[in-house]
Amino acid sequence: MKRKRYEMEKKKKTEIQTAIEELSVFIVTKPADKTEATHIPLRPILSFCSLIIQVLDKIGPTMAVLRQDIDQNIQRLEKFCETDSCVYSNLAEILKKEKEEGTSKMVASCSRALFWLTRTMDFTAGLLRLLSKEMSSKMEELVEECYMTTLKPHHGWIASAAFKVCLKLVPDNKTFMEAIGARDESYDTLREDIDTLSSLLTPILKEIYFVLEQYGLSRLRSM
């Protein structure tokens, strides 16, 4: 009985493998009529961001601030989507509505929430790519390198100062690797999973950034 339970636990998918499964069926639809919005499904994006939270939970309380920020943005978009799930299951429709209302750049807007979730996904994808290439490098160095290219350009001095504090709390390589699945897998398998996830995320992020730019949301900044 114990051995059977062990085998079941061993076969349990990691967060990265779950993300690969979900994003592999992700489809962006561009309408022939340019007056209509591009269809980019919201739910898979929120699911992926929820998986990021699960990894942060495994790392521990040191990532609590980042976790809270991601969770709040997910909840804001989920709540908005529930007002009309048929329409707002498409993230472009959310951006369109808020732009028409003139609320897209407000602090508590869903457009801003989507912008920061996209930046979080970009940071996550970049960090995993660096980790795949340099698994022996210190996590602190990889996190800082990735931060400089994905998040820092959009952070004001308060957010940048907060990051410097969080950087000191970044877990060591072993803790992070175990959090994303290395405990039950070889590094070669983990590297393959990371590369697969990266190949799926890159075109998705490109499409989201394109739509954000269409609605004037490519250069938002935090405090």
Instruction: Identify whether the C-beta of residue 154 lies closer than 8 Å to the C-beta of residue 220.
Output: yes
Specify if 191 maps to a domain. yes
Domain annotation covers residue 163: yes
CA distance 135 to 156: 30
Burial class (CB in 10 A: 0-12, 13-18, 19+), 147: buried
Does some domain include residue 5?
Answer: no
Tell me 152's DSSP state: G
Kindly state the DSSP code that residue 172 receives in the 8-state scheme: P
With respect to residue 220, please indicate whether it lies within any of the assigned structural domains.
no
7: Cβ contacts below 8 Å, ≥ 6 apart: none
Q: What local confidence, expressed as pLDDT, does residue 137 receive? A: 79
Instruction: Copy the structure tokens of residue 70.
Output: 């991601």
CATH number at residue 190: 1.10.3520.10
- 105: alpha, beta or left? (left if phi > 0; alpha if psi -120 to 50): alpha
pLDDT value at position 38?
Answer: 82
pTM: 0.84
Give a yes or no: residue 6 inside a domain: no
Q: Does residue 20 belong to any structural domain of this protein?
A: no
* pLDDT at residue 188, rounded to an integer: 81
The one-digit pLDDT tens for each residue of the chain (223 residues) are 444 444 444 457 888 899 999 899 898 887 776 666 788 999 999 999 999 888 878 776 766 777 888 999 999 999 999 999 999 999 999 999 999 999 999 989 999 999 999 998 998 888 888 888 887 778 888 888 888 888 888 888 877 887 888 778 788 877 887 777 766 667 788 889 989 999 999 999 999 999 999 998 877 766 5
Distance separating alpha carbons of residues 56 and 58, to the nearest angstrom: 5
**Is-contact 93 37, C-beta < 8 A?**
yes
Does 44 map to a domain? yes
Domain that holds residue 46: 39-214
Question: What's the one-letter identity of residue 139?
Answer: M
Task: Count other Cβ atoms within 10 Å, centred on residue 135.
Answer: 15
C-alpha dihedral over 141, 143, 149, 152, to 10 degrees?
-110
90 forms beta bridges with: 41
The whole-angstrom distance between residue 101's C-alpha and the CA centroid of its chain comes to: 27
Determine the distance from the C-alpha atom of residue 71 to the mean position of all C-alpha atoms in its chain, rounded to a whole number: 11
Amino acid identity at 64: A
Domain contains 13:
no
Q: What is the pLDDT of residue 185?
A: 66
pLDDT at 4: 47
Structural domain count, the chain:
1
